[in-house]
Structures are given as C-alpha cells and as structure tokens.
Amino acid sequence: MPAETFSDAEQPRDSKLAIKRGLRLKCPRCGEGALFYRYLKVQPECPCCGLDLTPQRADDGPAYLVILVVCHLAGFMMAILWESFRMEPIVMASLMSVFVTVVALALLPSAKGLFVAVQWANRMHGFGRRDA
Ligand SMILES: [Zn+2]
C-alpha cells in the first residue's frame, strides 16, 4: 500500500468534537485557536495549529440556520405573550423586533463556527487536502 494511505489525510475526523469546538468559536482541529478575528471573519489560518481555514465556504448557511431557529422561537414567544398579556400590537412588534435581532446576532458566530467545523470534519471544500 502507498504510504499516504496511513497519513493524517486518511484518518477519520471526530465530527462531534469538531462541532463542539466550532460552537465555542475555536479551531475545529486543535480547539485552542480562535476561529474568528472579527465578528464573523474567519481567520485565514489557526494561530495555534496552523490549520488553513481558507477552504471554508459557510456562505449563507449560518444565516439560514439562525433564521430557522429564531423564527421558531419568536413564533412560540408571540403566542405565549399574546395569550398571557394581550399586548398592543405595536408593543409586541417592538419587543419581538428587539428579541429577534439580539438573539440572531448572538447565535450567528456559533452557527458559522458549526458550519466551518462540519466542513472541516467532512473534508469539504479543500479541507481534505493533505495540509488542511
Ligand atoms: Zn487549530
């Protein structure tokens, strides 16, 4: 068998561990380096282990995931608020707007970390290269 069969490039990656690290905004490979250098800007490479993070292609995926989660939360919350307090529609709309905005902005980095980690664990978009 060729020697590269046994290299790191052929070893299975632990998806659960990578996802945990991604959700904590850490490098999916080492779990130490910060995944982002700004709010949603992914580092070009991990500052600790040197993993090349440029192959990540999260694109709009994290936003779709966050919208899915936040809109479900908002739907249940609207029903509960309406049944419990019978608020004026403008008050409820204002409260829900603030709630949805704050929760969505809070969840976006973790969602992006999740997407990057899943891509790395499954060797997607260049993460399967020998050096990635
Ligand atoms: Zn790393």
Long-range Cβ contacts of 85-93 (<8 Å, 24+ apart): none
Instruction: Categorize the per-residue pLDDT at 108 as very low, low, confident or very high, splitting at 50, 70 and 90.
Output: very high
DSSP annotation of 34 reads: B
**Alpha-helix residue ranges (DSSP H) falling in 42-88:** 61-85
CA end-to-end span of the chain: 22
**What is this structure's pTM?**
0.84
Q: What is the dihedral sign for C-alpha 65, 67, 69, 72? A: negative
pLDDT recorded at residue 37: 96
For ligand 1, the distance from its centroid to the CA atom of residue 45, given in whole angstroms, is: 8
Q: How does the average pLDDT of the chain come out, rounded?
A: 89
Instruction: Categorize the per-residue pLDDT at 77 as very low, low, confident or very high, splitting at 50, 70 and 90.
Output: very high
For ligand 1, the distance from its centroid to the CA atom of residue 15, given in whole angstroms, is: 15
For ligand 1, the distance from its centroid to the CA atom of residue 105, given in whole angstroms, is: 25
Ligand 1 (ion): residues with CB under 5 Å are 27, 29-30, 33, 46, 48-49, 51
For ligand 1, the distance from its centroid to the CA atom of residue 51, given in whole angstroms, is: 5
Q: CA–CA separation, 62 vs 92, rounded Å? A: 27
Tell me the mean pLDDT in the region 2-10. Answer: 48
Determine contact, residues 51/45, Cβ cutoff 8 Å: yes
Neighbouring residues of 104: CB distance < 8 A, sequence distance ≥ 6: 66, 67, 70
